[in-house]
Structure 1
Amino acid sequence: MKLVYLPPYSPALNLIEWVWEYFKKQVLYNKYYKNVCEFRKAAIAFFSNIDQHSRALKSQLDGGFENIYT
């Protein structure tokens, strides 16, 4: 086992940051919501149906980590 120290803030290595980036691309970018209620419905719909985005999320979350410490 090899102990690797990470920087205190490393969003590129934090997988939830990648999920939030994908969420923003799908729900926020180039979208207009009349009010907060409409945005809330879109956000809930995204996370309720997140399995529909599994292929895109898997490809985004899998990439780039295999050779990071070798």
Structure 2
Amino acid sequence: MINLEFTEEEKNSLYYERFHHPHPRVQLKMEVLWLKSQKIPHKKICQLAGISPNTLLTYLRDYEEGGIEKLKEINFYRPKSELESQKETLKKYFEKNPPVTINEAVYRREELTGIKRSPTQVRKFLKSMGMKCLRW
């Protein structure tokens, strides 16, 4: 069990932020830490907040590492495209040799990069590069 000591200023800040922070995830983190500051057991905090014990420990460790500012950080997992490094090369190639259909674009892209994707994924990728749909 992680034992934390909270000052009155920190308690007041947690209480305020749990209602007034613009992001709901941060509000939940503040709520959990505020409950912890009220000496409520971990099991009861998990039940009240609707979180798992592992999530509670993550929030407590974040608070230990960086205080309230660390709790305000929002880090969603956003994987990068495997083709990000080849984006410019592909764009130049498709501008010189525009595909007539999306299936042709899928085939050419697979030939050039060795990475196979569905027509929907290729269409989305081409649009992200600023290319227009002709007969896709």
Who wins on radius of gyration, i.e. which is larger? 2
**Larger RCO, structures 1/2 (Cα 8 Å, 6+ apart):** 1
- Length-normalised TM-score, structure 1: 0.36
Q: Which has the higher helix share?
A: 2
